[in-house]
Structure 1
Amino acid sequence: FCQRPIELGADFTVHSLTKGISGFGTDMGGAVIGPKKFQDMLLLFRKDFGAVLSSKAAWTILTYGLSTLHLRISRQTENAIKIAEYLAAHPKIEFVNYPGLPGSKYYELARKQMTDFKGNFAPGSLMFFVVKGNSLEEQKEKGRTLMNFAAKSAYTLTLAVSLGLTRTLIEHPATMTHSVIPADELLGHGIHPGGIRLAVGIENPDDIIKDLEMSLEQI
């Protein structure tokens, strides 16, 4: 929805139906789009590896996912832009990585490549922001504190590692998905110890910002 690689010259695109296309986190699936001449080859691989979408998942995605895709993604993108601007101006935030911000090094590229079907700028709903601190360990601990408060006390923030859902999802990679990597090594892998990954949903953006503000007050 926000970016169409085939229009940019790609031969194939691979979509996760589990994320934005499904939108509700209830089903898993994938889709490959490409030239029809490769259809037999793709069907052979699907048969050999058993990657066959269940009929229930297919029905749910077609009935609820695709029919609401434009509404959900448009709302998520609008929310994300507003939230990214709020975070970028917050005194406790070191930086925000989101292509919809003019200060992003990917902003101009995103303006060219990331548009909806009406040509509107659509930089997506996923962002990464880093809390300030005097050391990497302090930033890591502040990130953990923020995440723990959000998980227990926030109304609109759900602790989870997915994206593209109607709910806003928050996680702290340094203490979750990448917790076995020491803080001083995380940067070498492109992950800041004080970083928070936020996948914005369709809730009222003011409510999301209020929950983020309360969470930031804890650090």
Structure 2
Amino acid sequence: MKFNTKAIHGNQHHEEVTGAVMPPVFLTSTYAQKSPGVPVGEYEYSRAANPTRTALENALASIENGSRGLAFSSGLAATDCLLRGLKAGDEVIAMDDLYGGTYRMFTRIYKESGIVFHFVDFNDTDAFSKLLSDKTKLIWAETPTNPLMKLCDIKVIAELVKGRGIIFAVDNTFATPYLQRPLDLGADVVMHSATKYLSGHSDVIAGALVIKDAALGEQLHFQQFATGATLGPHDSYLVLRGIKTLHLRMQRHGENGEKVAEFLENHPKVKQVFYPGLKSHPFHGLAKTQMEGFGGMVSFTFKSGDKAEAVKFLENLKVFTLAESLGGVESLANHPATMTHASIPEDKRKAGGISDDLVRLSVGVEDIEDLLADIEQALK
């Protein structure tokens, strides 16, 4: 199947008893057994598996071309599950531009774990290679990154770690499998905050892992089952419903994102626009070869460099909503320094390029004329 068909039908089956086209929401915690330890069907307890969640997990595996999909209570829960397989003395190499929640987990929640985290520019292959050792057990990449839209070459990183017993994981939240499929490029695991584009309607908190290797998928399922960060059946239904329109939404997100980025780049008050679809973006060439489009996430700074101007812009938006999160059908605006990335210390934030005048836009699927008019009036 091609992607658009796969988003609707991939690994999906009509419900066996009634023939329902969409899987029912199985609101049950447990399942009857014929004899002790002999369930009536394949399910025993919903922390281990639930039919609605299974339908979602099958769809996740299909759209990312993986062998196993796992659905979690949040994107951070999915990330945490992957880290549960590490032990004291193991080392993680992560990109130097990460979602603030991921950075917070690595540096604070696992601070006393004995796991060592290195942060490096993945495009500096010499610096990256020097960090690789027998202790390296996990590579963590975001591409494009949140909020500076940096990219890394997934194929290059995969080749550098090949055959070393290292898990290479990619946060594919911004691109989605509509634009980029990391497992096909050499990654071992894909992570999603399914809250964002996969669900697409700002009405659920969810996360996902998709794993290439079946044995690793089974290990991660055990870690999820044993620690309990599973997604409930109703939320599973909502994400699955969202996936069925992912291709339609991402097409419009990308069309609108490109036009917003071009508009901002030509505006006299704007200093720099971060969007891989622009020729001025340092990773534009890589984006054209690694991705199948550029998406709907756009960040920018002001020529004044003034935080107050950024705040005033955000306060005066009318169609865009000032809010956390991204990837919904509605357009959202965000101030990373005080919102999504506030957990990163100020000195590290600024050293990484997240200035106080940086604004991040999640461009929705509204009429582009209304979005551009809103940006224009807010800039005025």
TM-score range, shorter chain: 0.7 to 0.9
CA contact (8 A) 1:158 1:170 kept: yes
Alignment equivalent of 2:335, drawn from 127, 148, 172: 172
Task: Give the whole-Å Cα distance in 1 for the aligned partners of 2:214 and 2:345.
Answer: 47
Q: Give the one of 108, 111, 115 matched to 2:288.
A: 111
Measured against aligned partners, the alpha-carbon deviations of 1:51-91 in whole angstroms (never above 9, x if no partner) come to 1110001111112x011100001100110001100000000
User: Secondary structure of 2:196's match?
Assistant: helix
Q: Please name the residue that 2:300 is paired with.
A: 129
Output the CA distance in 2 between the equivalents of 1:179 and 1:100: 27
- Go from structure 1 to structure 2 and tell me whether the alpha carbon gap of 1:183 and 1:90 turns closer, same or farther (over 3 Å shift): farther
**Secondary structure at the counterpart of residue 18 of structure 1:** coil
- Map residues 184-199 of structure 1 onto 2, 5 A cutoff: 186-199=349-362
User: Which structure 2 residue ranges, 5 or more long, are not aligned?
Assistant: 1-177
Relative to structure 1, the CA distance from residue 27 to residue 176 in structure 2 (aligned partners, 3 Å threshold; closer, same or farther) is closer
Describe how 1:6-21 pairs up with structure 2 within 5 A: 6-21=183-198
After TM superposition, give the deviation of residue 195 of structure 1 in Å.
Answer: 1.1
Taking structure 2 as the reference length, the TM-score comes to 0.51
More helix by share: 1
Residue aligned with 2:278, SS: coil
Offset from partner CA, 1:146-205 (integer Å, 9 cap, x none): 11111xxx1x20111211110111012234345688988742132021111101110111
> How far apart are the structure 2 equivalents of 1:11 and 1:178?
27
1:182–1:37: structure 2 CA closer, same or farther, 3 Å change rule?
Answer: closer
Q: Rg: which structure is higher?
A: 2
- Structure number with the bigger relative contact order (C-alpha 8 A, sep ≥ 6) is 1
Match of 2:230 in 1: 52
Q: Give yes or no for the alignment of 1:202 onto 2:380.
A: no
Q: Structure 1 pair 168/56, CA: closer, same or farther in 2 (3 Å)?
A: same
Deviations 1:65-123 (A, max 9, x none): 011100001100110001100000000100101001011101000001111xxxxxx11
Q: Alignment partner of 1:20: what SS?
A: coil
Q: Secondary structure at the match of 2:197?
A: helix
Determine helix, strand or coil for the equivalent of 2:195: helix
RMSD: 1.9
1:125 counterpart letter in structure 2: G
Q: Does 2:312 align with 1:145?
A: yes
Distance 2:348 2:205 in 1: 33
Name the SS of the counterpart of 2:245 in structure 1. Answer: helix
- Output aligned runs, 1:17-166, within 5 Å: 17-34=194-211, 35-63=213-241, 65-115=242-292, 122-133=293-304, 136=305, 139-150=306-317, 154=318, 156-166=319-329
Q: When the two structures are superposed, what TM-score results if normalisation uses the length of structure 1? A: 0.86
> Residue 6 of structure 1 aligns to which amino acid in structure 2?
L
What is the total number of aligned residue pairs between the two structures?
202
Kept after mapping to 2: 8 A contact 1:84/1:127: yes
> How far apart, CA to CA, are the structure 1 residues paired with 2:345 and 2:226?
40
Please name the residue that 2:160 is paired with.
none
- Listed as ranges, the gaps of 5+ residues in structure 1 are 116-121
SS at match of 1:13: strand
- Distance in 2 between the 1:182 and 1:215 partners? 29
Change in CA separation of 1:143 and 1:181 when aligned onto 2, cut-off 3 Å: farther
Contact 1:183 1:193 (C-alpha < 8 Å) held by counterparts: no
Output the CA distance in 1 between the equivalents of 2:236 and 2:190.
Answer: 19
Distance change in 2, residues 1:183/1:29 (3 Å): closer
CA deviation profile, 1:19-64 (whole Å, cap 9, x unmatched) = 100000111222211111223211111112211110001111112x
Structure 2 letter corresponding to 1:21: L
